[in-house]
Every structure is written in structure tokens, then in C-alpha cells.
Amino acid sequence: MSGSIGIFDSGLGGLTVLKVLAEKFPQESFCYLGDIARLPYGNKSPETIRKYGLQILKFLKAQDVKALIIACNSASTVFLGEEDFDGIPLLNVIVPGSRAALAAAGRDKRIAVLGTSATVRSGAYATTLKGLDPLVEVIETACPLFVPLVEEGVVGDLITELVALRYLQKIKQENIKTVILGCTHYPVLRGDLRKVLGPEVRLVESGEVLAAELRELFQNGTVPASSLGNTRQIRVCITDLTDHFERLATQLMDPEPIGRLEKVVL
Amino acid sequence: MSGSIGIFDSGLGGLTVLKVLAEKFPQESFCYLGDIARLPYGNKSPETIRKYGLQILKFLKAQDVKALIIACNSASTVFLGEEDFDGIPLLNVIVPGSRAALAAAGRDKRIAVLGTSATVRSGAYATTLKGLDPLVEVIETACPLFVPLVEEGVVGDLITELVALRYLQKIKQENIKTVILGCTHYPVLRGDLRKVLGPEVRLVESGEVLAAELRELFQNGTVPASSLGNTRQIRVCITDLTDHFERLATQLMDPEPIGRLEKVVL
């Protein structure tokens, strides 16, 4: 797996990121690690999240990756400002997500951030957004039931719509039209969110912004691109294995095919 | 803490058990361990749950407990049939819960079990119930959204009622009137469940059945009772600490007061 791109998330939500990257960079290999044995990260303390994150970065480094991506928003908040791990370029979702949201909002300068409790508690998006543009107004909303709803497949469903209506009440009232999906599970709820917020809402998704960021690292030579004609490999490693997650993985990556999930010990 | 009773759960749900035991045994001390850093157990594999469970039993043994209680249903399924841990009497919730349900059902002999995916997948309640009475009919239903709903305080709420209606459809249709709450979080939803299943439904809760079991161990001398007049102690240890869980702990134990949560490393 030498020269592949390492991606990690607390669970399988980051597959929504892997899917986008695998489509946009068809010659690159990827090694994904989902820390299923210890998910979710969204309600854990920063110290615990950082400890787990470091174990995973070490594991991915041992797979000889050329770049590291923290797809997990909760984990990104505790590695903010760190541009490499032991010399390997390290991307997180917060900074590119904030830049993309500002570009999408344009002159409106009002941005909503949806995330887990840990991501919202950290205030990482608000700090980053205001650092990039002091005039921006930010509403951060924790949506802790979205992850279990996605994991149970309750999507395009009245229950999810009611939950979304409750979480998004203020955003809807204030007619905010740029929304950062600050959790890798949330793109699965794209349809439910548009139903509540209106079809014209601009949803900023981690997969798209990380693809743009990675392209820049290839172009400026920070990360060497793989040569065309290589046989690419996509490995999906997880720290626990249940039937439930095999089904969820297939559903999140669809139509991109994935091989068997590999169980690994950190 | 010598001579106290050790209780563990994947998170704070087991506090619904601790609360009942603390009320019924006012002279006993308790040491509770909630493995918050790695919850939930309900969607993990049996191997992973057993590994975590053994670490916790070792930790509690080191606190010099005289009895060990696995309040977590998912963890109980992987320690079934084990009556002690290193010589210390070990109770799980499955066997006493099954006995209590059979007694409550009487001649009806139809019992429903609500639990996490891991508990239902294990079939532990069905196997135990049929072992005790081969004529019993058992319906086991996984209710994976109940735990996050309780943890987010969405209780006595339209959303929870809709979720319950969906999970309990078959139980309602078949008019089953004895229901084992096979997860320590579920007693918090008592009101929501009665609203869907009718006020006459018999809900079998882990706290009550463990109290009866523990009383038996005191009476037959397997576990020595503490002498009256001792100053009792109730310790609540957790493997991670966030504000959210401090609030949840107070709410679950109410009106029983608890001291500060202690963060421990396993």
C-alpha cells in the first residue's frame, strides 16, 4: 500500500469522503480506517479523541501512506493547525470546509454549521471561519441524533424530518442559506435537509472540499500523484466487525464497489 | 471500598440499576464503572465486548468488591453461565430477568424482549427463557434508536413515540403484555412505552430483578451483607468525562444524590 492516501474516521461515515475521493482520483490508492470499536467520537472528551486519533495516525503511517486525511470532524477539531504527522502531510476537514463555505456564501456572510456535540462544543468552525473573515456570522448547531438515524438507515423518513425540523428551526427562521455539514454522516441526509431548509440551500460537504484540497497538494508538489496505469487499491480497515457495518459500508460507498472489510488491531 | 458491590455498564444507563439497588440496600456501598470512552456496546462484536468486559471486571476486582453485577445487557450476553469472576460472585441481568418475566407472564407464556442489536443478535434471552420453560413464545426486537433518544433527553416526546410505534408494531398487534426491558437505558422510556403498549403492560426492568437476586445472595450467605451503621459510599467511575454525562448521571440517579464522577483509566 506504499504511496496510498490514508483516511480515518470514528466509524464508517468517512466512507462518504472516501467515495468522493475515489471517484475524483481514479489512479490513487486509499487506506481507510474506521474506529468502529470506539465510535462515536462526537460525545467524547478532546483528550480521549486525541489519544485515539494518534493511535490511528500511527497505524496509517505504518501502512506507508503519502498523505493523511482526518475525515472525522470531531477528531479534526483536536488536530487543528497541525499540517503534518511525523513529516506526512495531514489534512483535516475544518479549514477547507470553512474556506469553501465562505466562497459559497459570497456576500451573504451568514453560515450555519451542523455537527456532533464534540464538534460544536469545540467551536472550531466558528473560530476558523472568523479567522478567515471577521465579518462572518456563524450559527453552530449540535445534531446528535443524526448519526444514529443514518446508521439505522432511517433516511427520507418522517422521523428524521421531525428531528431535522427541531434542530434546524433557528437556521430556517433566520433563512440562512449556507450550511456546513460538519459530520461525515450528514451527506446521507442531504435530501431530508433540503426538504426542511429548501432546495436552494448550499450544503458544504467534507468530501468535495477535501478533494479540492488534495488536488492542490498534488499540484503544488507537496504530495506526489500516482502514475496512471497503476492498479489502484482501496482498503477499508475497521477496529471491529459486525454484519450491520458491512451492510452500512456497502450502502455508503454505493455504487463504488468495496472489498471485504479488514479487521485490524491498533 | 472493601466489601462494596461492583456494577458495570457500557455507559450511564446502568445508573438506573444502581439507583434501585442503592434504595433497596441502604447499608451497602457501591462502586459503579461506566465505560463511556467506548460506549455503546450494543453494536459491537461479542469478542470486543468480552475483551472490554474482562478489563472492567479486573478493575472492579482491584477495588475489593464482594460481588460483581453486569448491568449491561449486551455485556451480560457474553458472560452468560459464568457465576463468578476470580472467585467473586458474578451476576448478569439475563437469567434473573428471564425468571422474573416468566413469573410476570404467568399462564400467558408470551414474552417480548426489547434490546440493543447485540443483545437481540445473541438470542440470549430467548435461549434462557426457553431453557427455563420450553413452552414460552419469545419475540425479540432490536430498538437501536432508544439509547441515543434517552441520552439526548428526547423522552415523553412525539419523536420517541413514533420510533416506539415502529419498533413495537408486532408486539402491539399480537397484544403481548409481558415485555423485558433488555437494556438499562429503557426504564427511562417507561412512560413512552406504556403510551404505545397500553397501561396494563408488565415491564420487566433490570434494577428490580437484580435487587431480588442480590437479596437471595445475601440471604443464602453467598455474599456477606454489610453491618448496619456503616457509612455507605457510592462511587461512580467513568472512562471518559464530558459535561453531557455529568448532567445525564444526575438525571438518571435523581433523586438519589451522587458525588462527582471519577475518571479512571482501565
pLDDT tens track for B223-243: 999 986 668 889 999 999 877
| Cβ-Cβ contacts under 8 Å, B151 against chain A | 43, 144
pLDDT at B203 over 60: yes
| CA pair distance B128, B126, nearest whole angstrom | 6
Q: How many CB atoms lie within 10 A of CB B58?
A: 12
Q: Would you call A38 and B37 a contact, using CB atoms and an 8 Å cutoff?
A: yes
| Cβ-Cβ contacts under 8 Å, B166 against chain A | 159
- Beta-ladder partners of A85: A88
- Give tens-digit pLDDT for B21-54: 999 999 999 999 999 888 888 878 999 999 999 9
Tell me the domain boundaries of chain A: 4-93+208-263, 95-206
Q: How confident is the model at residue B5 (pLDDT cuts 50, 70, 90)?
A: very high
Q: Would you call A158 and B154 a contact, using CB atoms and an 8 Å cutoff?
A: no
Q: A95-206: which CATH architecture?
A: 3-Layer(aba) Sandwich (3.40)
Q: Hey, is the C-beta of B242 within 8 angstroms of any chain A C-beta? A: yes
Of residues A17, A3, A44, A88, the one with CA closest to residue A236: A17
Task: Decide if A31 is catalytic.
Answer: no
**Which chain B residue is nearest to residue A162, measuring alpha carbons?**
B159
Q: Hey, is the C-beta of A64 within 8 angstroms of any chain B C-beta? A: no
Candidates B10, B36, B38, B44: best to mutate against A (most CBs of A within 10 A) is B44
| Cβ-Cβ contacts under 8 Å, B46 against chain A | none
Candidates B152, B155, B165, B261: best to mutate against A (most CBs of A within 10 A) is B152
| CA pair distance B163, B178, nearest whole angstrom | 20
Cis peptide before A255 (omega within 30 of 0): yes
Q: Hey, is the C-beta of A45 within 8 angstroms of any chain B C-beta? A: yes
Handedness of CA A48, A49, A50, A51 (dihedral sign): positive
Q: How many CB atoms lie within 10 A of CB B2?
A: 8
- Give tens-digit pLDDT for B94-149: 999 999 999 999 999 999 999 998 899 999 999 999 999 999 999 999 999 999 99
Of residues A52, A136, A65, A147, the one with CA closest to residue A101: A136
Q: Count chain A–chain B contacts defined by CB atoms under 8 A.
A: 62
Q: Would you call B240 and A44 a contact, using CB atoms and an 8 Å cutoff?
A: yes
Domains A4-93+208-263 and A95-206 agree in fold: yes
Q: How confident is the model at residue A229 (pLDDT cuts 50, 70, 90)?
A: low
Cα–Cα distance list, A91 to A67, A78, B266 (Å): 8, 12, 31
Alpha-helical regions (H) of chain B: 15-24, 46-61, 73-78, 94-105, 117-122, 124-132, 146-151, 158-167, 169-173, 190-197, 206-219, 243-253
**pLDDT at residue B1, rounded to an integer:** 47
- Give tens-digit pLDDT for B181-199: 999 999 999 999 999 999 9
Rounded to an integer, the average pLDDT of A191-209 is: 96
* HEC string for B5-59: EEEEECCCCCHHHHHHHHHHCCCCCEEEEECHHHCCCCCCCHHHHHHHHHHHHHH
Share of chain A above pLDDT 70, in %: 98
**Which chain B residue is nearest to residue A244, measuring alpha carbons?**
B43
Share of chain A above pLDDT 90, in %: 81
- Provide the shortest C-alpha distance from residue A51 to chain B (in Å): 11
> Which residues numbered 92-131 in A keep a CB inside 8 Å of some CB on B?
117
| CA pair distance A263, B20, nearest whole angstrom | 39
Q: Would you call A45 and B240 a contact, using CB atoms and an 8 Å cutoff?
A: yes
Q: Hey, is the C-beta of B264 within 8 angstroms of any chain A C-beta? A: no
pLDDT at A154 over 90: yes
> ipTM of the assembly?
0.86
- Give tens-digit pLDDT for B66-108: 999 999 999 999 999 999 999 999 999 999 999 999 999 999 9
pLDDT at A126 over 80: yes
Lowest mean pLDDT among A234-243, B51-60, B162-171, B226-235: B226-235
- Provide the shortest C-alpha distance from residue B215 to chain A (in Å): 35
- Give tens-digit pLDDT for A45-85: 999 999 999 999 999 999 999 999 999 999 999 999 999 99
pLDDT at B9 over 90: yes
B4-93+208-263 CATH choice from 3.40.50.1860, 3.40.50.2300, 3.30.70.2860, 2.130.10.10: 3.40.50.1860
* HEC string for chain A: CCCEEEEEECCCCCHHHHHHHHHHCCCCCEEEEECHHHCCCCCCCHHHHHHHHHHHHHHHHCCCEEEEEECCHHHHHHCCCCCEECCEEEEECHHHHHHHHHHHHCCCCEEEEEECHHHHHHCHHHHHHHHHCCCCEEEEEECCCHHHHHHCCCCCCHHHHHHHHHHCHHHHHCCCCEEEEECCCHHHHHHHHHHHHCCCCEEEEHHHHHHHHHHHHHHCCCCCCCCCCCCCCEEEEECCCCHHHHHHHHHHHCCCCCCCCEECCC
Q: Hey, is the C-beta of A157 within 8 angstroms of any chain B C-beta? A: no
Task: Decide if A72 is catalytic.
Answer: yes
**Which chain B residue is nearest to residue A239, measuring alpha carbons?**
B48
| CA pair distance A241, A219, nearest whole angstrom | 37
Angle at A53 between CA A49 and CA A58, to 5 degrees: 155
**Which chain A residue is nearest to residue B46, measuring alpha carbons?**
A242
Rounded to an integer, the average pLDDT of A200-213 is: 95
**pLDDT at residue B228, rounded to an integer:** 67
Q: How confident is the model at residue B258 (pLDDT cuts 50, 70, 90)?
A: confident
Q: For A81, left (φ over 0), alpha (ψ -120 to 50), or beta?
A: left
Can you read off the three cell numbers belonging to residue A216? 492542490
**Which chain B residue is nearest to residue A242, measuring alpha carbons?**
B45
Lowest mean pLDDT among A81-85, B8-12, B58-62, B199-203: B8-12
pLDDT at A11 over 90: no
CB crowding A96-112: b at 16 or more within 10 Å, else e: bbbbbbbebbeeeeebb
| CA pair distance A50, A148, nearest whole angstrom | 23
Q: Hey, is the C-beta of B265 within 8 angstroms of any chain A C-beta? A: no
Lowest mean pLDDT among A99-108, A174-183, B1-10, B67-76: B1-10
| Cβ-Cβ contacts under 8 Å, A117 against chain B | 242, 244
| CA pair distance B33, B41, nearest whole angstrom | 14
CB crowding A189-223: b at 16 or more within 10 Å, else e: beebbeebbeeebbbbbbbbbbbebbeebeeeeeb
Pick from A144, A152, A240: which is nearest to B45 by CB? A240
Where do we find the cell 423485558? B180
Active site residues of B: 72, 183
Pairing of strands B262-263, B234-238: parallel
Q: Would you call A151 and B240 a contact, using CB atoms and an 8 Å cutoff?
A: no
Q: Would you call B37 and A44 a contact, using CB atoms and an 8 Å cutoff?
A: yes
Q: Look up residue B103 and give its amino acid.
A: A
| CA pair distance B199, A8, nearest whole angstrom | 47
